[in-house]
């Protein structure tokens, strides 16, 4: 084997190993620290009086709050994002410069730290007269994940072959029919990945919900009430000096990881059903 080839093989192997080990350590550390504290009580109850001092109660408020928040935001971002992504790739197919500048701005927005979105959401709340609430959180997180959603879908939509586009158009489809009946269906697996990516960002982010969603020990019952979220719950518990509480922070992290994992596996399962329609170039 050539020396060069050997070098790159070793290099690639070491990089892969590094990533795998980092990931395994991360998962192992939350499992080792968190699993002992996980109980049915923890995921089925709201925090009782002395919960933050290590007494009984659970984090159901944060689990439900996070699910409501990120499902709501992902749904809204999808409703707004899909037409944008389709429009960029079908209707604006001849406006390469315009589409590329849209992509550039979306990438910029993707890179803006989530705390900035939190601050922006907060200003928006004052302007609209909203209190810290689930609704304010959903709006902020929606804004925060729209660039991810649009660019994620855009990346798969732009791989659709020109031939399929022209075939659809030559059958007399309008551009919108081509967009929703052909491009959308052709790209379902990639679109699901984009949704998943956005959902992952939505459920895992703490900074954007800090000012906007607030925190409460009660279960979320209304869009206009403050709502607990898992990242903030982890943050509060981890900053406690009491060991029993700290351990529960890791347990909460396990819960968060399991939620993301479950949704990921479920969506992959459903994605498979649509892969069969994919034509390759």
Partner 1 sequence: MTEQEAKIRIVNLNMSIGNKPILKNINLEIPSNKLTVILGPSGCGKTTLLKCLNRLTDLYPDATVDGNIFIGDEDILHTKKNVNDIRKRMGLLSQRPYPLPMNIYKNVSYGLRISGRRKKKFLDKRVEHYLRMVNLWEEVEDRLREPATSLSIGQQQRLCLARGLAVDPEIILADEPTSALDPISSEAIEKKFAELKSRYTIILVTHILRQARRIADNVVFMYLGEIIEQGSAEQFFNDPREEKTKQFIKGAFN
Binding residues with partner 1: total (CB under 8 A) = 26
- Give 160's contacts (C-beta < 8 A, 6+ positions apart): 89, 182, 183, 186, 187
Name the one range near partner 1 by CB under 8 A: 115-123, 172-180, 224-232, 258-266. 172-180
Least Cβ distance, residue 269 to partner 1 (angstroms): 18
For partner 1, the closer CB: 119 or 169: 169
Interaction residues for partner 1, span 183-242 (CB under 8 A): 185-186
30 binding partner 1? (CB under 8 A) = no
244 binding partner 1? (CB under 8 A) = no
182 binding partner 1? (CB under 8 A) = yes
- Cα 187 to chain centroid, rounded: 19
Answer for which of 95, 131, 268, 272 binds partner 1 (CB under 8 A) is 95
Answer for which of 15, 39, 167, 224 binds partner 1 (CB under 8 A) is 167
For partner 1, the closer CB: 93 or 124: 93
Radius of gyration of the chain (CA): 22
- Give 79's contacts (C-beta < 8 A, 6+ positions apart): none
271 binding partner 1? (CB under 8 A) = no
Return the SS3 of 200. helix
Tell me what percent of the chain is helix, strand and coil, each rounded to the nearest 5. 75, 0, 25
> What span, in angstroms and rounded, lies between the C-alpha atoms of 33 and 38?
10
Answer for which of 2, 4, 96, 241 binds partner 1 (CB under 8 A) is 96
Quote the Cα angle for 138-71-64, to 5°.
90
* Phi, psi of 60, deg, nearest 5: -55, -35
Answer for which of 161, 221, 222, 224 binds partner 1 (CB under 8 A) is 161
> What span, in angstroms and rounded, lies between the C-alpha atoms of 51 and 49?
6
Answer for which of 155, 177, 217, 244 binds partner 1 (CB under 8 A) is 177
Least Cβ distance, residue 167 to partner 1 (angstroms): 4
Site for partner 1, rule CB under 8 A: 93-96, 161, 163-174, 177, 181-182, 185-186, 276-279
């Amino acid at each position: 084997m050539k020396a060069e080839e050997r070098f790159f093989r070793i290099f690639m192997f070491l990089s892969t190993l590094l990533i795998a080990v980092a990931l395994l350590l991360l998962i192992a550390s939350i499992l080792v620290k968190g699993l002992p504290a996980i109980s049915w009580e923890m995921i089925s109850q709201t925090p009782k009086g002395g919960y933050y001092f290590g007494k009984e109660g659970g984090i159901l408020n944060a689990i439900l709050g996070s699910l409501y928040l990120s499902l709501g935001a992902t749904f809204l971002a999808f409703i707004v994002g899909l037409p944008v992504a389709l429009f960029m790739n079908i209707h604006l197919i001849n406006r390469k410069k315009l589409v590329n500048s849209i992509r550039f701005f979306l990438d910029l927005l993707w890179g803006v730290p989530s705390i900035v979105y939190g601050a922006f959401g907060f200003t928006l709340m004052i302007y609209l007269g909203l209190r810290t609430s689930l609704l304010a959180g959903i709006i902020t997180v929606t804004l925060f994940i729209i660039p991810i959603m649009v660019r994620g879908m855009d990346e798969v939509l732009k791989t659709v072959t020109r031939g399929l586009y022209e075939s659809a158009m030559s059958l007399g489809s309008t551009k919108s029919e081509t967009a929703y009946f052909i491009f959308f269906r052709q790209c379902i697996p990639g679109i699901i990945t984009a949704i998943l990516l956005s959902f992952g960002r939505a459920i895992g982010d703490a900074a954007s919900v800090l000012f906007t969603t607030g925190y409460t020990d009660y279960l979320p019952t209304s869009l206009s009430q403050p709502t607990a979220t898992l990242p903030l719950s982890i943050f509060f518990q981890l900053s406690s000096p009491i060991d029993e509480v700290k351990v529960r922070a890791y347990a909460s992290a396990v819960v968060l990881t399991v939620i993301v994992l479950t949704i990921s596996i479920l969506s992959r399962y459903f994605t498979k059903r649509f892969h069969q329609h994919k034509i390759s170039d």
